[in-house]
């Protein structure tokens, strides 16, 4: 039996590059936060990221199909 937490966090490197004065700067990683709609833990993490000015995408997982589609396993 696997223990599934109500929140999953992943990062994704943005492949866009910006040229500035002959220097290539790679964009920062973007956080993707997955969680249940009314999860207190997810709210705490979202609040922390907002206060820390961290750019993130919030993806609600409301059923097993959402979980399977977004994360590749079917148990919330």
> Average pLDDT for consecutive 10-residue bins of the chain (76 residues)?
49 47 58 90 93 92 88 75
Q: What is the pTM of this model?
A: 0.60
CA torsion sign for 28, 32, 38, 44 is negative
Contact indicator for 7, 39 with CB cutoff of 8 Å:
yes
pLDDT more than 90, % of the chain = 29
pLDDT of residue 17: 46
């Amino acid at each position: 039996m696997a223990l599934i937490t109500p929140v999953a966090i992943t990062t994704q490197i943005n492949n866009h590059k910006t040229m500035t004065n002959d220097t290539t700067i790679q964009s920062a990683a973007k956080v993707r936060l997955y969680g249940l709609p009314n999860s207190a833990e997810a709210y705490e993490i979202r609040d922390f990221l907002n206060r820390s000015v961290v750019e993130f995408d919030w993806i609600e997982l409301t059923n097993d199909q959402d979980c399977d589609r977004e994360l590749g396993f079917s148990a919330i």
